[in-house]
Amino acid sequence: MFIENLPYIGLVIVTFGFSIVFFGIFGLAHLDSQQSIRDALDATLQKGSKQDIFRHFLHEKASNQPRGGVEQVIAMSQQGMDTTQIAKHLNRGKGEVDLIINLKRKRGAVNEK
């Protein structure tokens, strides 16, 4: 009688395990979102205005992204180096360097030399 019920018992145990994992994942996601909400509320109380709050979070996101290469390309271009020299020095593609310089020129950030 016990051997006949063994597949059902195994199915119940597996289902129980999956449900624990499932609720654990969603529980962690919920706790993480609550922490983000708490951080936003704390920033609201400290900063005051909506623009300051968004500026704070955008600054955090921007600081996590590497932007040093773009500034290096612009600085070298302003020093008078051509795109081939910049590409070799930074170990980047010439097309990538051209794209960065052209985008900055269109915005007026790079002076023609």
* Residue 57 belongs to some domain of the structure: no
- Round the CA-based radius of gyration of the chain to a whole number and report it: 27
Cβ contact 110:77 at 8 Å: yes
Q: Do the domain assignments include residue 17?
A: yes
State pTM to two decimals: 0.38
pLDDT greater at residue 83 or residue 52 = 83
Give the residue numbers spanning the domain of 29.
Answer: 2-48
pLDDT digits (tens, 9 = 90+) for 30-61: 878 888 888 877 776 665 566 666 776 677 66
- Per-residue confidence band for 14, with pLDDT thresholds at 50, 70 and 90: very high
Which of the 8 DSSP states describes residue 6?
H
Does residue 22 form part of some domain? yes
Token look-up 């005051």 returns 48
pLDDT at 81 over 80: yes
- My answer on whether 72 and 42 are in the same domain is no
